[in-house]
Structure 1
């Protein structure tokens, strides 16, 4: 299977996937401190440099937001989520995400970490499997309701921030603090209400995950129905029951997400994108794109 072409950013490329305005203060305050293994900063410190909404991307590391004030909207895969004070939002490595907005009064913490940080004698990366919010299809939001636990969480995050400010990246230390944080909030992690054990929601979620991984190779509903060992009609029924959308509507959403990312964050021509994504003539791709977005691919690429 070919690797999906939606942008896959490394930690040192935060100014691209976060749509960071070029600014000397950003360069001096944040970029020079970035590590391939771990990074943390206060949201209010980099919020003034962000340009939102940001186009979809994939990240090679796990990341999370924790808001202590304000609100934000972010996506994971094909699902959008709004969250506010005392909420975590997690995105595991290689999952598609986009950042729609973050309020001007938002405060809190942004953190990313490479799974390799847990490859040491004190911890194992497999221990992350205990936390549903870090899995590819897990529910990304964790709301912390206990004020005392919020204080404990902030203490851990502040300790991470302090240690990171010393510029000495110790995988043992950071992995220990991260595990303490994850165990602290695990009790509040809820199973995704959309991923219940009934067959309809399970098949719908499996279909979404297949779209994310196979959209460049397969663009017919029949292909996905075959992969799931169900009929096209049954797949449509399951998706409609779970999402109130048809299987075709989700496929189109996935195509548009990929197209927008490629237009905004790569140098591929419209002709190249048309062929890679839809295997069709550029004029047909342009008509498809405009019918769904109201603008041509070229016009979308030029938008700020």
Structure 2
């Protein structure tokens, strides 16, 4: 029973540290303190666990692969930047280390909209308020 609690606690700790590391790393990329996004195996190394253990733990704790949450957090920051800044879409793509074409594909896959259409929808909804 005690060992079971210890394992449960460890998986919660790894999950919590994973999400904290993601938030910090994404901010580092946005601010230019990191030149590119880390691969999942690099994140696992920073957390002192194997890639497989990280993947299994996050899937067990949260129900999805770690990459799902990584991408979701990136999208969240992109949406924030699209709605709160006047930076061009190409500049936002560059900040997030994408070329504009792949950036649009990535964004549309997640949101159903291109970055330009998303920005117009946000602007329109703000104008109506």
Q: TM-score, normalised by structure 1?
A: 0.34
Instruction: Give the structure with the larger strand fraction.
Output: 1
Structure 1 residue 200 corresponds to structure 2 residue 23: no
Greater shift after overlay, 215-224 or 279-288? 215-224
Q: Do the aligned residues in 2 keep the contact of 1:240 with 1:246 (CA within 8 Å)?
A: yes
Alpha-carbon separation, structure 2, partners of 1:284 and 1:226: 27
Q: What's the CA shift for 1:280?
A: 2.0
Q: Which has the higher contact order (CA 8 A, sep 6+)?
A: 2
2:59 to 240, 246, 264: 240
The answer to whether the Cα contact below 8 Å between 1:219 and 1:251 also exists between their aligned partners in 2 is no
User: Of the candidates 8, 14, 25, which is equivalent to residue 214 of structure 1?
Assistant: 25
> What's the CA shift string for 1:40-85, capped at 9, x where partnerless?
xxxxxxxxxxxxxxxxxxxxxxxxxxxxxxxxxxxxxxxxxxxxxx
Q: In the aligned structure 1, how far is the partner of 2:39 from the partner of 2:95?
A: 15
After TM superposition, the structure 1 = structure 2 runs for residues 50-129 of structure 1, keeping only pairs within 5 Å, are none
Cα deviation, residue 291, structure 1 = 0.8
Structure 1: segments with no counterpart, 5+ residues: 1-195
Distance 1:287 1:198 in 2: 38
2:110 to 265, 269, 292: 292
**Equivalent of 1:283 in 90, 94, 101:** 101
DSSP-derived class of the 1:230 partner: coil
Shift of 1:254: 0.6
> What's the CA shift for 1:223?
2.1
RMSD of aligned Cα (Å): 1.5
Partner Cα distance (1:267, 1:219) in 2: 27
Report how many aligned residue pairs link the two structures. 108
What is aligned with 1:264? 83
How much does 1:261 deviate? 0.3
What is the CA distance between 1:294 and its match in structure 2?
0.4
Gaps of 5+ in 2: 1-6
* 1:272-299 CA-partner distances (Å, limit 9, x unpaired): 111111x121011001100111000011
CA displacement, residues 71-128 of structure 1 (integer Å, 9 cap, x when unaligned): xxxxxxxxxxxxxxxxxxxxxxxxxxxxxxxxxxxxxxxxxxxxxxxxxxxxxxxxxx
1:223 equivalenced with 2:39 (yes/no): no
Structure having the higher Rg: 1
